Amino acid sequence: MHRAQLVLADRLVRDRQLGVEELLATTATRPGVRLWGKYVGVLSIAALPVLLSDLAVGLYETVHRDAPSAVPLALAAFAAVNLLGLAFIAAFALVCPLVLGAPLFRVLFVGYWFGNLLNPEYLPSLTGSLLAPVGDYAAVGWFGVKGFWAGTGGPEWLRPDPTGATAAASTATLLVVAALAVLSGRGLLARRAATG
């Protein structure tokens, strides 16, 4: 997942460098619609390989273990765990380079992503919290699998025990923050267009 986000980190910055931004401004499409379209495109590009691998595993399990529910379960897990994390990260990969620049964002993102996999008791971070995009709460709360760090260490309000309700809370939190990130990108692009 992290490689795709690193590659996608300069989409909006590159539009301006290549002169595509001015060309797109001449179309009848509003800037907000173009931004959301770019976000959906970035998310789709990042999600397709993950979806295909999840489907392949589901098909393998269906054939070799005679488990007809494996494909629907793989699709549900993809949507709840993988797609949710990708939606969160894609929003920031699209917008943050407008402020930080693509090279600095890439360096910081690598640290952030690997920090999400480390024990939060050793490295203070959002790991194991409702804002961690690795899908721990959904995996544990809805699918009953062992998670990484969901609910581990720290205050209960930040890292509650993983249940179905906290999985829903984590999902809602990640989607709202991702939407806010994309909306802030709209403001950043408008300000950049006004300053020339």
Question: 159 near 120, Cβ under 8 Å?
Answer: yes
Tell me, what's the pLDDT at 77?
92
The tokens for 158 are: 């930040």
Q: How many CA atoms lie within 13 A of 54 on its CB side?
A: 18
Q: Tens of pLDDT along 47-103? A: 999 999 999 999 999 999 988 899 999 999 999 999 998 999 889 888 888 888 888
Query: 153 exposed, middle or buried (CB, 10 Å; 0-12, 13-18, 19+)?
Result: middle
Question: Does this model's pTM top 0.85?
Answer: no
The domain limits of the chain are 2-195
